[in-house]
């Protein structure tokens, strides 16, 4: 494997771009559509506990990634860290897994866009919308990283503004400032089995939905290779992003639970095809906004396109980084004069073209098939972050390096990465645990959900067998002198 040392990428991403990428990446259909399902299944109290547990896990993952990315700001991120601090085959599998994850997710987003647009234009062929939006996303990523980040900033801004407005409106409704109601503020927390429904098993089940909702926060790591002054911008983004995301999610869940009882059947519906049942739509309708469904349709479409836009960026950079490290064909390491890895962009766009399978099958079937195909791949990346950081810090300390020389130091080590690893592993393995205990064992559901795990293991083992790679010893780890040695 011959590595390429001159990457050709341009450092043009500022702290505000990094922050909006991470916030925008984690605020999507998981919050706007599926959040109601967490309340319906576990009750308002159970949903809050699930968000608190997963939020704590994501906090530790973000701090782990912040330490790694500020110390070694490269576009390969998880793949590079896995290769240098765990095992080269592990990094290889992690990189290809992450590329596959986002390349497929772009296709998922484009099919979701078809479902959303059919709400307005039911007679227009869906593939036209996919072609239009895929072309727009491609162009944004093909011009320059600055144009991509600007577009992502404003798409994320729309989502963040919507969440803030939703929380404000919800608080006004809760305290009877927008309409009169004699019901007590905490009434929905006392009806039926509330605040906890279904006990601990329901909280675990809901945690799977919550884990999916938070995915995208790790985009900071991918963008590190093109950020301005990453030693300062990444720690700052990590510190600010997590608390804002958690605040948005926690307050949104509280608002929904205060206004809509967990027994409302609409909360169990999680399809992007019918935005009228989004908990956000229902709350805005309570405020008297008759056009709430139309407004939320626009916002959810924005969320989907933002996810596709950032997905195209992260998948392209990961494939590029794999090529730079000699783990992918060299052609994907080529960049334009503006620092765009165009060959990697073309390959990613080709996979995103799976959205056009809707020409043969129904939009809903293809949406669910692609969604299942991406499955646990995003969670595998999180596991990789926790493992890489744990071994990085252990190796750093074992070689006598000064922790004060780290641009950013993750707190609560080693508890943080260990806790994140355990919770993330539980979520990964429990994605569809019900299928194992049903009267009729559903092989198709199990395979669709967990196919990412054997694929990852095959890539890892295949690399190990071919190149005879071994786990990196702490004493053999390389740390750039400029980062830890005194002058």
pLDDT given at position 471 = 94
Q: At what angle do helices 126-143 and 88-117 cross, to 10 degrees?
A: 130
Residue 5 has pLDDT above 60, yes or no: no
Least confident of 105-109, 120-124, 292-296, 409-413: 292-296
Give me the chain's average pLDDT, please: 83
pLDDT given at position 183 = 62
pLDDT given at position 9 = 65
Distances (CA, A) of 167 to 98, 174, 254, 449: 33, 10, 9, 34
pLDDT given at position 417 = 95
* Band of residue 224 on the pLDDT scale cut at 50, 70, 90: confident
pLDDT given at position 10 = 63
Least confident of 31-45, 77-91, 307-321, 377-391: 31-45
User: Looking at residues 471-475, what average pLDDT do you find?
Assistant: 93
pLDDT given at position 359 = 87
Q: How many CB atoms lie within 10 A of CB 199?
A: 12
389, 392, 395, 400: CA torsion to nearest 10: -100
Distances (CA, A) of 320 to 129, 134, 199, 400, 464: 28, 20, 46, 33, 22
Q: What is the pLDDT of residues 242-288, one digit of tens each?
A: 777 777 888 888 888 888 888 888 777 666 656 556 788 888 887 77
Cβ pair 25, 351 in contact under 8 A: no
pLDDT given at position 438 = 66
Q: Could you list the beta-strand ranges (E) of 262-383.
A: none
User: Looking at residues 164-180, what average pLDDT do you find?
Assistant: 81
Report how far residue 270's alpha carbon sits from residue 279's, in angstroms, rounded to the nearest whole number. 10
Distances (CA, A) of 276 to 159, 290, 314: 18, 11, 31
Cβ pair 153, 20 in contact under 8 A: yes
Q: What is the pLDDT of residues 304-358, one digit of tens each?
A: 888 888 889 889 989 998 998 889 899 998 888 888 888 999 999 999 998 898 8
SS3 assignment, position 151? helix
pLDDT given at position 483 = 42
Residue 422 has pLDDT above 90, yes or no: yes
What residues pair up with 13 in beta bridges, in sequence order? Answer: 227
User: Looking at residues 289-310, what average pLDDT do you find?
Assistant: 83
What residues pair up with 227 in beta bridges, in sequence order? Answer: 13
Q: Residue 442 has which token pair?
A: 């559903």
Q: What is the pLDDT of residues 37-73, one digit of tens each?
A: 888 888 999 999 988 888 889 889 989 998 998 898 8
Mark 59-93 as b/e (b = at least 16 C-beta within 10 Å).
Answer: bbbbbbbbbbbbbbbbbbbbbbbbbbbbbbbbbbb
User: Looking at residues 101-123, what average pLDDT do you find?
Assistant: 87
Q: What is the pLDDT of residues 431-461, one digit of tens each?
A: 766 667 666 666 777 777 788 899 999 999 9
DSSP string, 63-125: HHHHHHHHHS--TTTHHHHHHHHTBHHHHHHHHHHHHHHHHHHHHHHHHHHHHHHTTT-TTS-
Residue 228 has pLDDT above 50, yes or no: yes
* Band of residue 213 on the pLDDT scale cut at 50, 70, 90: confident
Cβ pair 284, 260 in contact under 8 A: no
Report how far residue 241's alpha carbon sits from residue 343's, in angstroms, rounded to the nearest whole number. 32
Percent of the chain topping pLDDT 90: 24
Q: Which domains does the chain have, with CATH numbers?
A: 15-476 (1.20.1740.10)
DSSP string, 26-41: HSSHHHHTTHHHHHHH
- Non-local CB neighbours of 441 within 8 Å, separated by 6+ positions: 435
pLDDT given at position 17 = 75
Report how far residue 117's alpha carbon sits from residue 87's, in angstroms, rounded to the nearest whole number. 45
Distances (CA, A) of 409 to 83, 123, 144, 159, 417: 21, 55, 32, 31, 13
pLDDT given at position 487 = 39
User: Looking at residues 156-180, what average pLDDT do you find?
Assistant: 83
Report how far residue 140's alpha carbon sits from residue 153's, in angstroms, rounded to the nearest whole number. 12
User: Looking at residues 390-407, what average pLDDT do you find?
Assistant: 92
Cβ pair 42, 197 in contact under 8 A: yes
Q: What is the pTM of this model?
A: 0.87
More confident residue, 387 or 452: 387
pLDDT given at position 383 = 94
For residue 160, say if its preceding peptide bond is cis, omega within 30 degrees of 0: no
pLDDT given at position 12 = 63
């Amino acid at each position: 494997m011959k590595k390429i040392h001159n990457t050709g990428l341009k450092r043009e991403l500022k702290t505000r771009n990094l922050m909006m990428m991470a916030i925008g990446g984690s605020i999507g259909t998981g919050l706007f559509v599926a959040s109601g399902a967490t309340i319906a299944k576990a009750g308002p109290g159970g949903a809050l506990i699930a968000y608190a547990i997963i939020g704590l896990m994501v906090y530790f993952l973000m701090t782990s990634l912040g330490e790694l990315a500020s110390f070694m700001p490269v576009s390969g991120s998880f793949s590079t860290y896995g290769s240098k601090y765990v095992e080269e085959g592990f990094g290889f599998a992690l990189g290809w897994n992450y590329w596959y994850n986002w390349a497929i997710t772009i296709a998922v987003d484009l099919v979701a866009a078809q479902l959303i647009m059919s709400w307005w234009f039911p007679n227009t062929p869906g593939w036209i919308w996919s072609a239009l939006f895929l072309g727009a996303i491609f162009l944004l990523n093909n011009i320059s990283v600055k144009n991509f980040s600007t577009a992502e900033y404003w798409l994320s801004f729309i989502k963040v503004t919507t969440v803030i407005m939703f929380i404000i409106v919800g608080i006004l409704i809760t305290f009877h400032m927008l309409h009169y109601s004699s019901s007590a503020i905490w009434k929905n927390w006392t009806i039926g089995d509330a605040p906890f429904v279904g006990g601990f098993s329901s909280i675990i089940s809901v945690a799977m939905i919550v884990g999916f909702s938070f995915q995208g926060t790790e985009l900071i790591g991918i963008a590190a290779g093109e950020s301005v002054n990453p030693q300062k911008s990444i720690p700052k983004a990590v510190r600010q992003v997590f608390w804002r995301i958690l605040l948005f999610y926690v307050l949104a869940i509280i608002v929904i639970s205060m206004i809509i009882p967990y027994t409302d059947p609409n909360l169990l519906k999680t399809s992007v095809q019918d935005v009228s049942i989004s908990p956000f739509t229902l709350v805005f309708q309570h405020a008297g906004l008759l056009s709430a469904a139309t407004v939320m349709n626009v916002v959810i479409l924005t969320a989907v396109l933002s996810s596709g836009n950032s997905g195209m960026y992260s998948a392209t950079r990961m494939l590029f980084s794999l090529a730079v490290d000699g783990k992918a064909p060299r052609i994907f390491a080529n960049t334009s004069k503006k620092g765009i890895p165009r060959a990697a962009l073309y390959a990613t766009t080709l996979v995103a073209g799976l959205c056009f399978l809707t020409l043969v099958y129904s939009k809903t079937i293809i949406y669910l098939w692609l969604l299942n195909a991406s499955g646990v791949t995003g969670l595998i990346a999180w596991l990789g972050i926790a493992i890489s950081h744990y071994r990085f810090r252990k190796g750093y300390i074992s070689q006598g390096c000064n922790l004060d020389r780290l641009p950013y130091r993750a707190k609560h080590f080693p508890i943080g990465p260990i806790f994140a690893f355990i919770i993330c592993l539980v979520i990964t393995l429990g994605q569809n645990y019900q299928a194992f205990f049903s009267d009729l064992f559903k092989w198709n559901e199990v395979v669709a959900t967990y196919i990412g795990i054997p694929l990852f293991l095959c890539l890892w083992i295949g690399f190990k067998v071919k190149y005879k790679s071994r786990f990196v010893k702490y004493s053999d780890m390389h740390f750039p002198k400029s980062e830890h040695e005194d002058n």
